Structure 1
Amino acid sequence: MATAVQKITLSSARDIPFNKLVLSQSNVRRVKAGVSTEELAESIARRGLIQSLHVRPVLDADGAETGMFEVPAGGRRYRALELLMKQKRLGKTAPVPCVVSDAHSGVLIDEVSLVENMERAPLHPLDQFRAFQAMRDKGMTEEAIAAAFFIDVNVVKQRLRLVSVSPALLAIYADDGMKLEQLMAFTVSSDHDRQEQVWEAIKDGWQKEPYHIRRMLTETTVRAADKRAVFVGVEAYEAAGGIVLRDLFESDDGGWLQDAGLLDRLVAEKLKIVADEIAGEGWKWVEAALSFPYGHERGLRELVGATVDLTEEERATREALRNEYDRLEAEYAEADELPDEIDARLGEIEQALEAFEQRPAIYDPADIAIAGVFVSVDSDGSLSVDRGYVRPEDERPVDAEGDDTPEVDGGDGPVATPAVQRAVITIGGQPAEPEDDEEDGVKPLPERLVIELTAHRTLALRNAVAEHPDVAMTLLLHKLVSDTFRHTAPTGCLEANVRHIFFSAQSEELKDSAQASEIAERHGRWGDHVPADDQALWDWLSHLDDGTRLDLLAHCVSFGVNALFERPNPYGSGVSQHGLDVRLAQADRLARATGLDMVAAGWKPTVGNYLGRVTKPRILEAVREGAGQRAAGLIDHLKKGDMAKEAERLLADTGWLPEPLRLVDPDDGQAIEPGAEADAGDDAALPDFLSEDGDDEETDEIEDEDALTIAAE
């Protein structure tokens, strides 16, 4: 015969006037913790009493109920209600929701008080974040949320910042797979792919400290405390479109500037502006650089300038500042710590006195005409200008004995200093002449442009590999055999675990390219069928036919293709020069194996992706290679902006590619130049309006003039 399960009976609930309640002396909470009584009172006034009080009847000496009730569980709520009553915001007889337990229960009142506090589970930070997020989505501001819960607004911002973490990492944190401090470290970057890459790299290792995560996420960035960032100003960097990564959880000294290439360009532009201003003083040359090596002025003669005497008014001001400084120092000599306003004033006086001592020197105009200036950035981000250095080749010839008039080379007249001398300005060791006076030499492509171009090629290679399962199989097998038998082999252009490679720099048009669309569409088709359960995935893969398995293998392997150029790091972090060479060589091999043609893939030179990013000699070189010498000659007189626009039109259908996108000939290691046929016949490469020949010489001249006019439009 089955034993009947005894049913429990819950305590009854009813409203009790507040003046019938007293705080139990058996309440275990003695020490203040958590939200203060005042804050809890405000919360009750705003939202009402969310949780009822637990009370027990008070008995007299004979065991009869007295009509009063003691509160063993809910003492903080009772004190908050008591405070509201004292503030006349709650009536003495206001009904209070209470759960009334049996006065004759065998459970000690102390046990009730203790268990009420011990069984309370704190809210998970992720649940708090989701609640804050829901309230913000419904229209509450961060300040309003903070005020509603009596917390600092930065706490709300920190919790809401967790939305920038990848959902995959949030799920790992929810399952206790990582600590809160680690999760917070991931918020310095909003790139989910990069966050997941970092976690994959460290999850099985021993080095998973938050500082290590932040360092990996910001390894390609520049700290806001860097002298380049201080010199340019974070506001100017952001105004130019730069992104600043910030850490709301730790002191970040202003954050990290994500686009180092943009920052370097802004530094060069600002140095150029300063150099132009200084050149207006008449110096022969101005060298500007972020910094100069030690001893850069060795072998140069330094001019000694004359310091301008102070005026009577300036002397009086300087004397007054010195007296004030001495008086304040004497007045607070015995103080352990200076008041903030006194400390600030002393700093102002020191700066003013230093300005008097650092007055610019005055140089002889004849000396200025043969001397130059070094412009750089100090370690604190301030501008450093060193004037008056004469190079040996610029020294005046020694006067002949007894002759006060120096001779000019090849003549007998005196040395004539030009009325207007144009200074030779160099920025970072490179001439910074106006664009119309650019040198004929072809300079190396900017590093960021090479990275963007190789990002285009990497995406096209991924698409090509996915469409050639046989090549994907060879690539994967090559990688696995290399890892198995050649343990010191470089990584190459395929990541073994085939994770999505982060593009540190890419042009805006990349996401809208045909390859990006094809890859996304192919990924979507596969994703509709891939099971989420691990065992189900194994079973599904096991039942696929060989052709389908190869197609899926090619798609997955393609995501690990990495043909990106990046700056080699000889100190161990990142890729070495040898590793980069192997990567790019393998990328060329892949391109040949898949038959990849970047022209067929849809890449064309435009003002935005190439022509507007390089120098005029580079533009002319491109037009010569793609459209012929004659076309280049017709636009070589244009300004750079117009030249780039015209070059885009001339190269539109020529199939010309820049070096990073060309296929390297495996026999001689030289890039195969597209558009080579243009050199054999210039007319064939020119548009009709530039290549038509007339019947007579006069017609030819007219047509040439018309073509030149059209090219300049």
Structure 2
Amino acid sequence: MTQSILYVPAANLTKSPSNVRKCGDAVADAQLEANIAARGVLQNLIGVPVARRKGQYRITAGGRRLDAVHRLIEKGTFAADYPVPVMTVGNAGDAIEISLSENFFRLGMNPADACRAFQDIIETEAKTPAEIATRFGLTERFVLGRLRLAGLAEPVFEALRDGTITLDVAKAYASTSDTARQAAVFEQLKGAYYSATVNEIRRALAHGSCTGQDPKALFVGRAAYIEAGGRIDGDLFSDADSEVWRDGDLLDRLADEKLAAAATAIRARDGYAEIRTVAASHLPYMETWGLREIEREPGPLGHEAEARKAEIEAELAGIETLAAGAGGYSGEQNDRIEVLEEELGAILDDSTVITAAQKATALAYVTIGADGRPQIHERLFVAPAAGVEDAPGRDGNGEERAAAAKVPKPVHSQRLADELAMMKTELLALHVAGDPHFALDLGTFIMVDCATRFGAADMPSALRASAPAALVQDFASGTSAAEAWAKLVAGLDRGWTDHAGLDARYEAFCALDEAARAAWLCWAVARTLHAVPAGRTGSGFLDHLGRKLGIDVAGWWRPTARNYFDRVTKPAILDLLEEIGGADLRARYAASKKHDLAASAEKLFAGQTIVEAELKERALAWLPEAMRFDPAGSAPTDAPGDADCGDSAAPADEATGSADETGATGAEESAAEPGKIAAGPAADGAKPDGLAEAA
């Protein structure tokens, strides 16, 4: 292959149809153009001579560079005869292969190397970010972002260099210039692939900080924050104005102080009995728990509102007259009445006012609006009188609120209040962990209290005994186990649930006898078990539990036409009959219709058909694999260490209560071991009575 490099006027160069690059990128092309304008064409193009046109070449590799040169000529940056270095190849047949090779084997630059290259240019050539941006056709913000990446904490930068993290993840770490914070978060999230996402990293870095658009930041003001020593980082990787105010504690203190001053002025101006401040845009639910809201008085309507009110009332009266004559309202009339009444209600709601007398007894909250201005929350409450509970029969916090009304509000930032709460809870957790009996009662109460009432916003614990969603909606098995479970639930002592306050319910629960508390614990744990089809993740552990408890599935559950045989094919039933009784049994039922075959199979496997003793025994013992806790043909065995984990069979003298005491009736004759579930119904199909003794 003949190759030589010539400098050819740009006017004599055209892109070859053989050039394999067909797709472009406008931003990248603009950057290339700016770089060529500053430095010229640094890398030669590759072209082949045009037949019968001396001095002209078609470019097979380097088309983007040629296009950039032509655009610069059009703009007047380069002359029309601007010389472009071109490596010529004599064989036009090699053009496509050369073009593909030039593009296919190109290696993209490691982003870490690019970041350090920008840094080196600034340090060695004394260039400014703006000058570098002009040279490479970039924005100054882009260059500043790459320089921020070059200054990442060393562990983070090395992770970017070796490909452990992506460029987007590196940008997330660079959202703050605090390299110590970067390194700490990187170490915290290292190895936790499920947490080390861009959003999670940004949240971890921003903990204790906020953006400049946060209502609290707008309220305090940038100048006041900086004057107090606050630090601000610009996020160079976001198009939004999202600078980060790093000193959250300082911002909280400044906001509390400024809001307290605003609240004092508002109280003096408007005459509220009490004002409380919340340095946030919303009023937390628990802040007003137990307070009685003030109903505003209706006020005078404006001229337009009064006129519209009269129109609505007139239209409603007209509809009523028409309906009376027609003997009833039509669907259209009902829809129209609903619309009119909703509009009328909105007009009347907007006209409500708070009277001076109501203000004199009102508790108002001052919050921070979305625009960063202090505002009185729309909801007003009756101010608690000293020594009087807020609301009888509510949460029992009236004494605490009354006491708080006597004491000036402490000057604690939200961050400090949160930290104090965490330290206090650490102390409580340590002592709970040191008292197993206390922890057992507390844990049981938390689970069952949250499970027996709607909502649990007032429960300061994450412990729950939530029942999983049903695999099949609206399914009622009708099995003996389902009936026994219903009896168990009905027998639970629910007297403690009648108390209104959380504290009162807890004390009433602890006052139950040991058997009643144990029954609630068993119920709470049992209801959390998931239904897992055989072979799926978790099914093996459920099988292990069943073997450990020694559950006799065949004694509790038998296949019926409804729950099994109607749900499988006729050949499958015949195969099953052959499995337990041989070919003769299969032949006996082979001519039966599917419905009749399912009914016959139900009787056979329930022991209600007159057959040989051995055949009846095999039929009564048969279970589908999906209903077994032990593999087919194997005897249940205890796993190593079962005795150390707690035997399900409690000694007779440790039984926690009789069926009469717990309300769960027992299968007295079959319950050989107190504290265990009855073995199940007899082989003749009798259903179990339920639990022996609920311990």
TM-score by structure 1 length? Answer: 0.43
TM-score by structure 2 length? Answer: 0.44
Larger-gyration structure (1/2):
2
